[in-house]
């Protein structure tokens, strides 16, 4: 059971954060015709789809979704994407994940996309923690917070009730 004091963001707050992130992404890419939103498999991809849904309502950008397959436990393993490199070459791309914790997943995701020339590269997360192991930052974030290293943040994208909480 999740205690009320452990909830960081409730369903309404998450929807508001996603909308704000989408507007920030649009403002940052308003001169573009096309944009790639690349979500890290799992919650990152779910969040990316939610951002794309808002972008399609508020902008005239052609938005393409991409799923990034990273083994979070073994990030040195081969990373694959649902799009070929030719699709995102010389385009603006936003890499999305649910929580920026140590920065490991995001930094290896960034490394993968550095092998292809991009027009612009940004990152987006719903929750940004301040315990990074790597020098990676989120350009667009829903909320930033400092927690103890022992605390774990969970984002639960349930069909009826989405929330972010401390475990």
pLDDT tens per residue across span 5-38: 889 999 999 999 999 999 999 999 999 999 999 9
CATH number of 4-27+34-166: 3.40.50.2020
- What's the length of the chain? 167
Distance between CA atoms of residues 141 and 20, nearest Å? 9
Going by the DSSP 8-state scheme, the letter that residue 5 receives in this structure is G
Question: Residue 71 pLDDT > 80, yes or no?
Answer: yes
Q: For residue 112, give the nearest of 130, 129, 136, 133 by alpha carbon.
A: 136
User: Is 151 within 8 Å of 164 (Cβ atoms)?
Assistant: no
Q: Quick: pLDDT tens for 103-142.
A: 888 888 988 898 899 999 999 999 998 767 777 889 999 9
| Residue 121: strand pairing partners | 93
Cα separation, 121 vs 139, in Å, equals 10
Model pLDDT, residue 72: 82
In the chain, where are the structural domains located?
Answer: 4-27+34-166
Residue 152: is its pLDDT beyond 90? Answer: no
């Amino acid at each position: 059971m999740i205690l009320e004091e452990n909830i960081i963001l409730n369903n309404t707050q998450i929807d508001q954060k996603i909308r704000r992130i989408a507007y920030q992404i649009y403002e940052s890419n308003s001169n573009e015709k096309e944009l790639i939103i690349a979500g890290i498999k799992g919650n990152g991809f779910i969040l990316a789809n939610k951002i794309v849904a808002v972008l399609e309502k508020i902008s005239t950008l052609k938005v393409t979704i991409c799923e990034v397959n990273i083994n979070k436990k073994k990030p040195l393993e081969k990373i694959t994407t649902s799009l070929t490199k030719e699709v995102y070459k010389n385009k603006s791309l936003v890499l999305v994940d649910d929580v920026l914790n140590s920065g490991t997943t995001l930094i290896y995701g960034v490394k993968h996309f550095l092998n292809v020339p991009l027009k612009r590269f940004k990152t987006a997360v719903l929750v940004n923690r301040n315990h990074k192991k790597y020098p990676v930052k989120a350009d667009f974030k829903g909320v930033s917070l400092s927690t103890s290293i022992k605390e774990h943040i969970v984002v639960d994208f349930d069909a009826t009730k989405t929330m972010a909480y401390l475990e």
